[in-house]
Structure 1
């Protein structure tokens, strides 16, 4: 009879990412997209829901902000038990919610914070009042390692016109730097006439240009949520900011490229978060 000696192994530290955002009942954006992206890129996702939307691939029909006390309790529950390395912040419906989230991030001081400033609807309508935008800029942005505005959101943050080409994007760099954030990823996905989707990663003293081939598909619901969550996931795994953004852009590009393999809904469907199984890059 053979015998062997049992050895105990220390489990590897699990990279944990908290998403603070609204729920999308259609499953393509918001908390649902965040959890899929974080999971697909190899981290563990937890969440605090700030609002419940009635939403599908055709649009949003209702928004119910979660009471402040319950947002606080969700954040306390997660932070006091789980070793949250990175936080992704998405939809914050009003000034009071922004203040609560900022206070809790200050209290628990996670290592990384990525903010996707969900401010402008696809229709062009503002989702946040001007007072809430001011609070976002003054209270929450100083806590961020990265903010990830698209072009309409960049315009709303700077007071400039929505860029119509890459030269307009470059003209926005100075105003975005004036927001006094660590880094800004200005996403050029709205420049649909371009063959490539070009983004600018803006630091106080340098700018990195990131390019990916533009994919012809209507299934792009939740791309901003997905990208910012993937970046937070890669940060939690120990990658630096530039590498995390590059890996995140590669992930979202592939998820868009495989989006038409899904048939979800009658409108703008989601990207394919799980196009290639487990995608952790360490």
Structure 2
């Protein structure tokens, strides 16, 4: 099985727990090779996002082009893109140099602290340009509600929303149910062939910063390594859960995960 080359187009998280930083950690921990095209810079910590600086669209495309023309990719992952102009640029570059590669789209819109990460005017561009080319779309419930235009309060509504999103073009939609109440969690993988349910018990933890970014990148890594969508999701969910269970407990808000739990420390013998 190939190592798996994953090009990640997303925003940077200065606190290291989400965004590009989490993406790279996840891909490395699962044995893949991660590269990045940084689409936005953020100033944030575990308490929230305090500032965003969008990267010029032409420079985002240049980062993508240079990597794809040299090393190449087996899968791509999209996270925070911030503006409609960046979305258009990324979609154009994918169509030019990476058409047909597995693409995982995490429609990052709002941070856990409530700070908007995608301009409202950019939602239409996201729907029109990225959903039709996605192999897997991974919305949480608030993001899905924005995309489908109705509230999601239970598992039946999750599946209805997944079907509605499937009509927008992605080959598969992973509806993440973490925002529903209850001790049991369910994620729904919705495809044209049917719906697969992934169930787990809720972890009582505040170490949840970057879970969405990490999950999407872990899925992209699995696809890059030749796994099926269902196999990639199953491994990614197990990875994220263990990373939450072994989290270091850092910060005073939503803390980061332990992305490196699969990696053994390298010890240099003392002289």
Q: Shorter-chain TM-score: what band? A: over 0.9
The TM-score with structure 2 as length reference comes to: 0.92
Match status 1:273 vs 2:259: yes
Q: Matches of residues 143-222 of structure 1 in structure 2 within 5 Å?
A: 143-161=133-151, 163-191=152-180, 193-222=181-210
Distance (whole Å) between structure 2 residues aligned to residue 119 and residue 263 of structure 1:
25
Instruction: Give 3-state SS (helix, strand or coil) of 1:202's partner.
Output: strand
Q: Matches of residues 67-216 of structure 1 in structure 2 within 5 Å?
A: 67-109=56-98, 111-124=101-114, 126-161=116-151, 163-191=152-180, 193-216=181-204
Distance (whole Å) between structure 1 residues aligned to residue 148 and residue 116 of structure 2:
14
The number of aligned residues is 263
1:180: Cα distance to partner?
Answer: 2.4
Distance (whole Å) between structure 1 residues aligned to residue 16 and residue 175 of structure 2:
25
In the alignment, which residue of structure 1 is the partner of 2:20? 31
RMSD: 1.6
In the alignment, which residue of structure 2 is the partner of 1:6? none
Gaps of 5+ in 2: 265-271
Q: After the TM superposition, list the runs of 4 or more consecutive aligned residues in structure 1 that deviate by more than 3 angstroms.
A: 123-127
- Of 25-34 and 166-175, deviating more is 166-175
In the alignment, which residue of structure 1 is the partner of 2:243? 255
In the alignment, which residue of structure 2 is the partner of 1:7? none
The TM-score with structure 1 as length reference comes to: 0.89
CA contact (8 A) 1:22 1:90 kept: yes
Instruction: Give 3-state SS (helix, strand or coil) of 2:257's partner.
Output: coil
1:129: Cα distance to partner?
Answer: 3.5
In the alignment, which residue of structure 1 is the partner of 2:267? none
